[in-house]
Amino acid sequence: MTSEKITKWGPLALSTLSFAVSSYVLLKYQKQEDKQLPPTDESSKELKKIEKKSEERTVIYPIPSQDRGHGHLSRIMAIDDANAYGNVHGGTILKMIGHCGWIAANRWVHQRTKSNSNGDDDDGKGEHDTIMDSSMVRAVLGRMEQMKFREPMFVGELASLYAKITYTSKHSCEVQVDVFAENVVKGIRRHTNHATLWFVSVRMEPHVLDRSAASLSRGSFLNISKSQIIDVSNDTKMVLIKMPQMDRIASEEQSDGDRRYQFQKYERAHVGEFSQIVQSFELSEWMDRMFQTQDFDQLRPGPTVSTLSHVIAIFFFFFF
Ligand SMILES: CC(=O)SCCNC(=O)CCNC(=O)[C@H](O)C(C)(C)COP(=O)(O)OP(=O)(O)OC[C@H]1O[C@@H](n2cnc3c(N)ncnc32)[C@H](O)[C@@H]1OP(=O)(O)O
């Protein structure tokens, strides 16, 4: 064989050989693996045994009663929590407040299980008390109010948040969240933030979404009733359910809570109206009306603008 032939056909022959060997090895390995699998009956028995063992190991603890309606979060503030001034970013604190309130509200709504249902609260809003599956029950954030940034928080401090249910209405609850910043090195703790959140209790239900209608335009969503808000990604809808009520609440606390509840309801109901008034009100029209009026003149002591203008007009009329 000449060296020319070797250089021409050698690499091709080598690659074919290596391909054949690797295919043979792979097939043999696969066959061995198949042989190792136990028959189906045995394998299912084995699986059941393993599942039983892991179930025995998994202990599900009930949420302690003192934690119901309470939430707690703690975290050291890191460099990436900082804003341009080097303090902790307000958005970081807001997010943690949302999480902490969410813990308290969800622990609260999860008191509603099959065992404590009474089946008497179907008030035509689609809510029945027979909660099928606790994983479908949740509290969703409706409103965040009274967010107070009392003092700045610094990187390196320990942020500790405490949330507590302070009022319940038929379908919503008020959660108060307090935030503390602790300098662990110096042993100093400061009250940095306070917020009030309102959560609404809902149940997720499967819903067949008419995608053709929904995808036409954003406007088509506006036709969907508010109590059937749709989670497009999961094809589920939220249905309002009753909020578990606070018991053993002092009458003063109850009336204070009622007042805060009525106030936020009133505010929500009138925000739309107020913005409509602002939008429809032309500034130029307002300026015209303001300067046409004589009321301001009459309040001033001495000759009014209108009186002076009359004198000047008479002067020009007679002398020019
Ligand atoms: C956990 C999270 O962070 S979830 C993420 C953020 N949140 C969300 O995505 C929720 C989006 N919003 C919604 O889905 C809806 O607005 C809901 C479910 C909150 C309310 O639905 P609506 O159909 O508007 O409720 P509707 O007007 O019938 O009121 C039902 C109850 O909720 C209360 N509610 C409704 N909106 C609000 C609100 N913005 N703030 C406080 N309470 C509210 C009402 O007071 C009422 O309770 P009541 O019967 O005890 O008086």
Report pLDDT digits (tens) over 67-115. Answer: 989 999 999 999 999 999 999 999 999 999 999 999 999 999 987 554 4
pLDDT band at 280 (very low <50, low <70, confident <90, very high): low
Q: Is the CB of 142 within 6 Å of ligand 1?
A: yes
Q: Which domains does the chain have, with CATH numbers?
A: 48-111+134-206+234-294 (3.10.129.10)
Q: Is the CB of 104 within 6 Å of ligand 1?
A: no
Residue 143 Cα: closest atom of ligand 1: 40
Instruction: Say how many Å lie between the CA of residue 199 and the centre of ligand 1.
Output: 7
Q: Is the CB of 125 within 6 Å of ligand 1?
A: no
The residue assigned the tokens 């107020």 is: 274
Task: Please give the backbone phi and psi of residue 264, each rounded to the nearest 5 degrees, phi first.
Answer: -70, -30
Instruction: Say how many Å lie between the CA of residue 205 and the centre of ligand 1.
Output: 16
Average pLDDT over residues 202-223: 58
Token pair in block for residue 206: 């499967």
Q: What is the dihedral of CA 72, 77, 78, 82, to 10 degrees?
A: 120
Better-scored residue on pLDDT, 1 or 14: 14
Provide ipTM, 2 decimals. 0.96
Distance CA 282, CA 13 (A): 88
Instruction: Say how many Å lie between the CA of residue 141 and the centre of ligand 1.
Output: 7
CA nearest 202: which of 177, 227, 225, 222?
Answer: 227
Tell me: pLDDT of 136 over 60.
Answer: yes
Average pLDDT over residues 292-296: 42
Residue nearest to atom 12 of ligand 1 (CA): 142
Q: Note whether 137 and 241 are within 8 A (CB).
A: yes
CA nearest 168: which of 239, 69, 267, 67?
Answer: 69
pTM of this structure:
0.67
CA distances from 26 to 29, 35, 37, 153, 318 (A): 5, 14, 17, 61, 119
**Amino acid of residue 116:** N
